Chains A and B, each alone.
Chain A
Amino acid sequence: MSQGPEVLIPTSAAEAVELFGTGADTAVVGGGTILIPMLRLSDARPARALMLHHAGLAGISETGGRLTIGAMTPLNHLAAMADPIAACVAHIADLEIRGQATLGGNLCARNTDAPRGDLQGAMIALGASVRSVGAGGERTEPAEEFLANRDDRLVLDVSFELPAAGAYAYLDRAHTHEYTALAVSAVRTSDGAIRLGANGAGPHGLRLPSAEAAASDHAAAGSAALADVALFDDAIASAWYREKTLPVLVRRALDQLKEAA
């Protein structure tokens, strides 16, 4: 790493925000489980790297039924939460990586050679808001809006209302290493609304509004979901395979949600 980036190590959230600025040519280092190999191989060559491990952005707090999770919270701290989070986290990598990988890194992970960022679908289903800074200052917005427009943002935290029930249906693979090719998160909110999010069905986690509108008929919702996604081929599954399985996973997630108290 002879010509490596200038490394910045802020010791508070305020300092991290200030150093990040507009985020130009800056790589944010969360847990580093994706970024460190990229930097080592020069697949990423940022001018600056902002390391967040001392920035005080980790932690989970609850006020009035609303949960706020800091961007640097490691995934293993989310393992005991209600579904869809718990089931989703249990299928991300293995326990060593889950101890290092962060929620912020998962929300900012990109589908390059593998469908990364499994919690994106879960956060969409939960109706989570993402608080971030960057050019134009601070923004707090629904996860699906953040994901569609997340370049050069520093994620501070994510918050959502505790759901009445949640479910996670996924394509399981034999080996823990394998990324989840496709999964659907379903949530029933405290006022009875049903929300659906998918990961592995587009360039980032996607909401499934057409399926939500048809949610009373689980099979119809499954077919409707195909209108909401941008299926792709990768080394793990073909678009054809994803097209055949997405309706099944939507149906299963809704079936599970109905069972869940």
Chain B
Amino acid sequence: MSLNITVNGASRTVNAEPLTPLLHVLREELDVLSPKAGCQNGGCGTCTVLVDGEPRRSCLLPIAAVEGAEIRTVEGLAPPGQLSPLQEAWIHHYAAQCGFCTGGFLMAATAYLENGGSDDHTEIAKALGGHVCRCTGYVKILDAVSAAARGDSFDLTTTAAGLHTTLKGVDQ
């Protein structure tokens, strides 16, 4: 079937079997690669995107059920070459190691913050509790989301992780 979805503000027409998971449409049809295929069973959260503002596992969502919806992924968090405050906090706090879980965590945390979430670690853990980080950087992740909830600002050129990112360029 042919249907429309909006991805990071752009209207896209896709041709897919109605039961195809949104994850596959994003990655394979639309070349949106930040949602990762981890378990593909709902159990890890690497595939989480925002569907009309709500965090959802894109591996579980049949494309026909999100027809007309507004999808947001990491690619849409900030204009090209820039980072959202949450992403900056992530770098400052070294909350990504291998980075495979990061996209899903960022989208779930973005929804948490947009819904007015506080810097309380227990509340954050409740909101992100379905996400697995195989590198087990959970403390850093909680620190990063807390910092973003408080509105902390960072000079990324002074942090090791930030320096690394600056040298490599963030929009490669």
Interface residues of A (CB under 8 A from B): 1, 4-5, 7, 9, 29, 31-33, 36-37, 39-40, 49, 51, 53, 93-97, 99-100, 176-177
Query: Are A29 and B42 in contact, with the CB atoms below 8 A?
Result: no
Interface residues of B (CB under 8 A from A): 17-21, 40-43, 45, 48, 54-57, 59-62, 64-65, 108, 126-127, 129-130, 132
CB-CB under 8 A for A1 and B19, given A53-B65, A100-B56: yes
C-alpha spacing A75/B150, complex, angstroms = 31
* The residue from B19, B57, B126 contacting A97, defined by CB atoms under 8 A apart: B57
Can you show 29 pairs from A to B with CB atoms below 8 A apart?
Answer: A1-B17, A1-B19, A9-B18, A31-B60, A32-B60, A32-B61, A33-B60, A36-B60, A36-B61, A37-B40, A37-B41, A37-B42, A40-B40, A49-B19, A94-B45, A95-B55, A95-B126, A95-B127, A96-B48, A96-B54, A96-B56, A96-B57, A96-B130, A97-B57, A97-B130, A99-B55, A100-B60, A177-B130, A177-B132
CB-CB under 8 A for A177 and B17, given A51-B64, A96-B57: no
* The residue from B19, B43, B45, B129 contacting A7, defined by CB atoms under 8 A apart: B19
Number of A-B contacts (CB under 8 A): 78
C-alpha spacing A97/B45, complex, angstroms = 10
CB-CB under 8 A for A36 and B45, given A51-B65, A93-B130, A96-B130: no
Measured between beta carbons, the chain A residues less than 8 angstroms from B129 are: 94-95, 176
Measured between beta carbons, the chain A residues less than 8 angstroms from B62 are: 29, 32, 36, 51
* The residue from B43, B61, B108, B126 contacting A100, defined by CB atoms under 8 A apart: B61
Query: Are B56 and A7 in contact, with the CB atoms below 8 A?
Result: no
Measured between beta carbons, the chain A residues less than 8 angstroms from B130 are: 93-97, 176-177
Measured between beta carbons, the chain B residues less than 8 angstroms from A29 are: 19, 62
Query: Are A37 and B59 in contact, with the CB atoms below 8 A?
Result: yes
Q: A37-B42, A97-B60 are in contact. List 4 more A-B contacts (CB 8 A).
A: A39-B19, A94-B129, A100-B56, A100-B60
Query: Are B64 and A9 in contact, with the CB atoms below 8 A?
Result: yes
* The residue from B17, B18, B45 contacting A96, defined by CB atoms under 8 A apart: B45
Measured between beta carbons, the chain B residues less than 8 angstroms from A99 are: 54-56
* The residue from B60, B65, B126 contacting A37, defined by CB atoms under 8 A apart: B60
Instruction: Tell me, rounded to whole Å, the shortest Cβ–Cβ distance linking A178 to chain B.
Output: 10
C-alpha spacing A93/B129, complex, angstroms = 9
Measured between beta carbons, the chain B residues less than 8 angstroms from A5 are: 19
Instruction: Tell me, rounded to whole Å, the shortest Cβ–Cβ distance linking A49 to chain B.
Output: 6
C-alpha spacing A96/B43, complex, angstroms = 11
C-alpha spacing A1/B62, complex, angstroms = 12
Query: Are A96 and B19 in contact, with the CB atoms below 8 A?
Result: no
CB-CB under 8 A for A40 and B57, given A29-B62, A176-B129, A177-B43: no
